[in-house]
Amino acid sequence: MKIRRLIVAAGVAAALPQLGGEAHGAATPVYPDRPVRIVVGFPPGGTADILARGFGREMTEAWGQSVVVENRPGAGSLIGSEYVAKSAPDGYTLLVVTSSHAVAATTLGKKDSVDPVEAFTPISLLATTPLALVANPRVPATSMRELMAVAKRSPGKINYGSSGTGSTTHLAGELLSQMAGIRLVHVPYKGGAHSMNDLVSGQIDLLVISWPSAIPQIKAGKAKGLGISALKRSPVLPQIPTLAEAVPGYEALQWYALLGPAGMPADIVQKLNAQVVRTARSAQYVDLISKLGADSETNTPTEFRAFLRSEVAKWTKVARQLDLGQS
């Protein structure tokens, strides 16, 4: 009996390393081992939503895990941002944001809003696109220089629409006014479609809107393109000048990027960043970007954090000059 007990004990001891190895392997799954959710703080159909779904498709094909895009619109995209900021930093809840992320928390008067930099883990830029300043055909100006002359003769008589108070388009319009030394009256809207309809019908004089949204109306002759907010002219309509040609140094890009909650593991961040870079080079994604009138642009997490900080500083300064900061 004693010999039999020794044999059984020896067998159990021999099996323990193997069992331990299996348990250890089960405790370290390879990311992602379950579906990933990408939150978008805007309604379906917009550029941010389209980019999120495009990236999600590429990620699904590369990693074999489904990616679900969840739209959580409201409060200038703050609802979606706050939701992600409070999620577990495990890489399974991500956020696609636009440049409004850099200004929303500082312009909507919410003291408890999440910090646009520190509450998140930066992953990468996804794309950039300029804004456009367009005019109703009856406005007596065909360029920014001509508009400046008209506005200086009649200060406060010309208005411009934006996608809402505190939005990127609003602040871009105010920055342009400041740098050009003119005074324009701001008319806020709840979105680009309504504001463009009002511009075409003559309800407003000017409109600051995303370049892709402006292109069809300019081509149709329903709106005059006075300039774009990039430092280089667009190859789509190269005859439209940059606003910087009349107002040196002016630039205001609409950008789109991928973030996660603060505290994400470095290896997951690097894997996501590498996937963004691969996606940016894929033929399918490049075709998607070009149809949106945008430029594919990526960077490292460190570079993106520095870029985000500079954008927050730039637009917060404009917001404070307009008395739009938090009370």
Residue among 105, 47, 72 nearest 291 (CA): 47
Per-residue pLDDT at 71: 95
d(Cα 84, Cα 71) in Å, to the nearest integer?
A: 12
Q: Do domains 36-128+254-321 and 130-245 have the same CATH topology?
A: yes
pLDDT tens-place string over residues 209-245: 989 889 999 999 999 999 999 999 998 899 999 999 9
* pLDDT surpasses 60 at 10: no
The Cα-based distances of 248 to 78, 170, 179, 276 in angstroms read: 33, 20, 8, 33
Residue 258: which residues within 8 A CB-CB, separation 6 or more? 38, 55, 94, 95, 96, 123, 124, 126, 272, 276
Angle at which helices 47-63 and 266-281 pack, to 10 degrees?
110
* pLDDT surpasses 70 at 302: yes
Task: State whether residue 160 is helix, strand or coil.
Answer: strand
Average pLDDT, whole number, for the chain? 87
| DSSP-assigned letter for residue 158 | -
* pLDDT surpasses 90 at 29: no
Greater confidence, 24 or 106?
A: 106
Task: State whether residue 124 is helix, strand or coil.
Answer: strand
Q: Which pairing describes strands 93-98 and 253-261: parallel, antiparallel, or unpaired?
A: antiparallel
Question: What is the pTM assigned to this prediction?
Answer: 0.80
Per-residue pLDDT at 158: 96
Element (H, E) at 132: strand 120-135
Q: Which residue has the tokens 């950039």?
A: 128
Domain ranges of the chain: 36-128+254-321, 130-245
pLDDT tens-place string over residues 244-281: 999 999 999 999 999 999 999 999 999 999 999 999 98
* pLDDT surpasses 60 at 9: no
d(Cα 188, Cα 200) in Å, to the nearest integer?
A: 16
| DSSP-assigned letter for residue 32 | P
- 254 pairs with which residues across the strands? 129
Per-residue pLDDT at 246: 97
d(Cα 256, Cα 210) in Å, to the nearest integer?
A: 12
- Return phi, psi of residue 115, to 5°: -70, 125
Per-residue pLDDT at 7: 44
pLDDT tens-place string over residues 140-188: 999 999 999 999 999 999 999 998 887 889 999 999 999 999 999 999 9
Say which CATH architecture domain 36-128+254-321 belongs to.
3-Layer(aba) Sandwich (3.40)
The Cα-based distances of 159 to 8, 52, 154, 184, 233 in angstroms read: 89, 34, 11, 5, 25
Per-residue pLDDT at 112: 60
d(Cα 175, Cα 317) in Å, to the nearest integer?
A: 10
pLDDT band of 106, cuts 50, 70, 90: low
* pLDDT surpasses 90 at 133: yes
Alpha helices in the chain (DSSP H): 2-26, 47-63, 78-85, 104-107, 144-153, 168-180, 192-201, 211-219, 266-281, 283-291, 301-321
Kindly tell me the number of DSSP H helices and DSSP E strands found in the chain. Answer: 11, 10
Domain 130-245 indexed as CATH 1.10.20.140: no
CA Rg value for the chain: 25
Per-residue pLDDT at 165: 81
| DSSP-assigned letter for residue 76 | G
Please give the structure tokens belonging to residue 190.
């709840």
The Cα-based distances of 126 to 276, 278, 320 in angstroms read: 7, 11, 28
Residue range 24-44: mean pLDDT, rounded? 83
